[in-house]
Amino acid sequence: MLEQIAVSSAGPSARLAARILCGRLRRPPAGNVAAVARLMTGARDERVAAMAEEALALAWGSDQKVTNRVWDTLTATPGPAWRFLLAPAPDCPHKPRVRLVTAPPDGRRVLAAALKSADPELRGATADLLRATDHPILLADFESALGSTPKPLREPMDGKLEARAVLDLALTNTHLCQPAPLGGYRAGLAIVAILKRRFDLLDSYDPASLVDELVCLDDRAFPAPAAEGYRRWLRALGPGPGRERLCELVTDGYPGALAAIADSGQEPDSPDLLPAFLFCIEQWERYDALDPDGALLENYIIKEGDDAGMYLWTVAERNGRQLPAPRGFADPGF
């Protein structure tokens, strides 16, 4: 009722209704965020719209849920919304210095708008902003969408098309082609460095985390130079945690890891891992010489417990081999 009066009326009654609605934004949890946002974009009385805009400006960034609600409501009416969201914010510590970047909505809302909004003005404005921004939340949106286990954007979309569309946009943002922009353990942006032929930047990532990322990228719709780049990097690993992780992934049956090992002949330094590794790559002569009674492989399975790669059982069944069955462990029946 209050919103209807504030939107459709003019004069004191409309302003009183608007004042009540706007006042609720100052009380946690903030209520009627969407209603106040609709006042700003659709009120008949310009003074009501101005009152709503002032209230939203004060509420913006005060709470992530409030920011998300404001965004979700305003992007339904992009004309007035962009006047608010792209208002200059000279004190903003991130680029571009506009209100939206002072406290961006999370959940990849901005990225989804840039790729999938039905409104061309909204798509263009968000894409331009994402090309220029250095805000960690917005950079993290790219990382989570490009990573090997991406979550869908906010609306259904073909996964391969989505990955390629995100990558095309990411390649235009210079802040993404930097040493580990979000820290060494978040390696989803490594694909940007690879496509820009900045292989030196891969050294800034945690080696094991980077291997985890790259071995899973073959099913993504990335351009051929990307696959050539990360496959070459995986095959050229030297001794260290990256190569050890690659060999561990062999025991889990990751096709990317198996292919890299088959092409490069790499093997682990860890004597504990070596028997399981040789078993999984089916080097039977070496395995039988190293572990003739299966004791080493049994110790590996006991030590790893639930983390022992299930691929061991797949290989055993395929080759008619019997795995040792430590006490407390059962053949999973694969």
Q: What is the pTM of this model?
A: 0.84
| Rg of the chain, C-alpha, whole Å | 27
pLDDT tens profile 183-210:
999 999 999 999 999 999 999 999 999 9
pLDDT over threshold 70, residue 320:
yes
Residues 213 and 152: their CA atoms lie apart, in Å, by: 17
pLDDT tens profile 78-124:
677 788 899 999 999 999 999 999 999 998 999 999 999 888 888 99
Mean pLDDT, residues 60-68: 87
pLDDT at residue number 206 = 97
pLDDT over threshold 70, residue 177:
yes
Mean pLDDT, residues 242-259: 96
DSSP structure class, residue 154: S
pLDDT over threshold 60, residue 327:
no
Mean pLDDT, residues 230-258: 96
pLDDT at residue number 286 = 98
Percent of the chain whose pLDDT exceeds 90:
59
Residues 248 and 250: their CA atoms lie apart, in Å, by: 5
The sign one gets for the Cα dihedral 174, 179, 185, 187 is positive
pLDDT at residue number 158 = 53
CB contact set of 57 (below 8 Å; sequence gap of 6+)? 84, 87, 99
The residue among 286 and 53 whose pLDDT is bigger is 286
pLDDT at residue number 154 = 56
pLDDT at residue number 254 = 95
Between the alpha carbon of residue 181 and those of residues 6, 134, 171, 175, 242, the distances in Å are 46, 9, 14, 7, 20
Rounded mean pLDDT of the chain? 88
| Phi, psi (rounded to 5 degrees) for 68 | -65, -40
Look at 63-67, 73-77, 207-211, 213-217 and tell me which has the smallest mean pLDDT.
Answer: 73-77
| Phi, psi (rounded to 5 degrees) for 98 | -130, 165
pLDDT over threshold 60, residue 216:
yes
Contact 312, 276 (CB under 8 A): yes
The residue among 99 and 38 whose pLDDT is bigger is 99
pLDDT at residue number 19 = 80
pLDDT at residue number 151 = 58
pLDDT over threshold 80, residue 150:
no
The residue among 136 and 44 whose pLDDT is bigger is 136
Contact 176, 138 (CB under 8 A): no
pLDDT at residue number 334 = 45
Contact 186, 213 (CB under 8 A): no
pLDDT tens profile 265-309:
999 999 999 999 999 999 999 999 999 999 999 999 999 887 787
Considering 1-15, 81-95, 150-164, the range whose residues carry the highest mean pLDDT is 81-95
Residues 212 and 242: their CA atoms lie apart, in Å, by: 9
